[in-house]
Structure 1
Amino acid sequence: MECKRVFVLSPHADDAELGVGGYLARVIDAGGEVMVALGTVGASTSICLRREIGKEERLSESRESMAVLGVQSVEVLTEGLDGALSSYPAVEMIGRLDRLQNMFEPDEVLIPLPSSHQDHRYCWEVGIASTRPNHTKHVPRLVAAYEYPATFWGEGALHKGFGGGLYIDITQTWTRKLDALRRHQSQMLEDPGRLIGIEGATALAQLRGVEAGFAKAELLHVLRQRWS
């Protein structure tokens, strides 16, 4: 956990926390810097609150959540395209990601695995394009894909992780991850029957922990790793 810069592409305002919230807290505690790029933020219907929530409410939840983890920088890539990110031209999105990477010069780039949600599939595709070899001026040491509870339904379940996997012990930062997730009050149901929620995130962290020998863990699927 040396001091490093980590760039995370997050389809929605809570996906980075669901996938790698514990890891980001560890990076920041070690003196590192994190930038999170949100694919889109906008109005939507909240299952938890049973009402329409607006862009500012979602952004407020995101700011509180990121403050809990200590994330220093958040970039909003589009507004109002929840469920319709594919309507934004991919070539323009890739260009924006290129510019952010060249500006931030991250050591690691983390993108979401595809899932049954169309926005996650879109972010996977533009993330792969923006990290392809020799594409940008800056080349990160690690490009990896993170999972989240709903990854296992859809295309993400087919990902074989040919580059290997990195299990990250998040036992010490687990309570901060939970605190960050609970700041998304419009999204996080505490219901055992729901994948996207506190119970789903807990079950996944326990599963990865059992696989790796930790109490709680997150798994990164390695896409490319460079050693110098």
Structure 2
Amino acid sequence: MMTPKKLVVVAPHPDDETLGCGGTIARFADLGAEVSVLVVSGHLPPLYDRDVFETSRKEAKAAFEIMGVANSQFLAIPATLVRDTPVATLNGQIEGFIRSAAPEMVLIPFPDRHVDHRVIFDACVVACRPSHPAAPTAILAYETLSETHWNAPGIEPAFVPELFVDVTRHMTQKKAALASYASQLNHAPSRSIDACMALARFRGSQNGCEYAEAFKVVRIVV
């Protein structure tokens, strides 16, 4: 797989980028890619106090530094209320970030059980349309523990990946970045660091390496 010179990752919430593709971010950053992360929503009123959002933003910044992220932006849309944002506004904000970064590759959330993930997936696909010369040539959807695997089989889209990235040498960074999210991760089996490591080990076992991250291909132009 090509190593992009510029990579954009769109995260519905702080920690989704690390859960889904933290090893891939670290790997490409280590290879010299300029990585930019857009965090679309966060823990804000009316469901959360503002200080919860500020805590998670600080945690995200710490995780970004560990993984080698060069640029980041937080749109600060309240979590679970992304669908209440006018479609043109949301699409425009995401497209604006992607166009300004001019990446060859964009990593986006798989449209899973979380309503924010589904809405943001749709907006990302619109933003990545090959309608201009600088459009990204690789768009991949990542899986997110505790959301992607809770879809209803046979009724909703299933995450059946076609592309895998060997992240064996970068799992230490992923684990450290995950640990930065003390307020977000808990010790429940579905969202613990151990579960993230287990998933990466399973994906690696499917592909002859120790650890891997998996992606659905939206589009790749060679």
Report if TM-score (shorter chain) is over 0.5. Answer: yes
- State whether structure 2 residue 85 is matched by structure 1 residue 88: yes
**Residue of structure 2 in register with 1:144 after alignment:** 140
- Report the CA distance between 1:61 and its aligned residue: 0.6
Query: How far, CA to CA, are the matches of 1:70 and 1:106 in structure 2?
Result: 16
- Report the CA distance between 1:41 and its aligned residue: 2.2
Q: What are the residue-to-residue correspondences of 1:104-115 with 2, within 5 Å?
A: 104-115=101-112
- Report the CA distance shift for 1:109/1:59 in structure 2 as closer, same or farther (over 3 A): same
RMSD, aligned α-carbons: 2.2
Query: How far, CA to CA, are the matches of 1:119 and 1:19 in structure 2?
Result: 15
- Alignment identity in percent? 29
- Report the CA distance between 1:159 and its aligned residue: 3.7
Q: What are the residue-to-residue correspondences of 1:8-47 with 2, within 5 Å?
A: 8-43=9-44
1:7 aligned partner, one-letter code? V
- Report the CA distance shift for 1:53/1:27 in structure 2 as closer, same or farther (over 3 A): same
Q: Which of 199, 202, 209 is matched with 1:204 structurally? A: 199
1:101–1:138 CA contact under 8 A, matched in 2: no
1:146 aligned partner, one-letter code? Y
1:144 aligned partner, one-letter code? L
- Report the CA distance shift for 1:29/1:61 in structure 2 as closer, same or farther (over 3 A): same
Q: What are the residue-to-residue correspondences of 1:1-228 with 2, within 5 Å?
A: 2=3, 4-43=5-44, 54-79=52-77, 81-134=78-131, 136-149=132-145, 150-154=147-151, 158-159=157-158, 165-191=162-188, 193=189, 195-227=190-222
Query: How far, CA to CA, are the matches of 1:92 and 1:212 in structure 2?
Result: 40
Q: Give the aligned length.
A: 217
Query: How far, CA to CA, are the matches of 2:109 and 2:215 in structure 1?
Result: 10
2:220 aligned partner, one-letter code? Q
- Report the CA distance between 1:155 and its aligned residue: 6.4
Query: How far, CA to CA, are the matches of 1:226 and 1:207 in structure 2?
Result: 28
| 1:77-134: CA deviation from partner (whole Å, max 9, x where unpaired) | 234x112111111211111122222211101011100111111111111111212232
Superposition TM-score, scaled by structure 1 size: 0.87
Superposition TM-score, scaled by structure 2 size: 0.89
2:4–2:103 CA contact under 8 A, matched in 1: no
- Report the CA distance shift for 1:206/1:37 in structure 2 as closer, same or farther (over 3 A): same
1:98 aligned partner, one-letter code? E
The 4+ residue runs of structure 1 with deviation greater than 6 A are none
Query: How far, CA to CA, are the matches of 1:2 and 1:131 in structure 2?
Result: 18
Report the secondary structure of 2:80's partner residue: coil
Q: Once structures 1 and 2 are overlaid, which stretch shifts more, 98-107 or 64-73?
A: 98-107
Report the secondary structure of 2:168's partner residue: coil
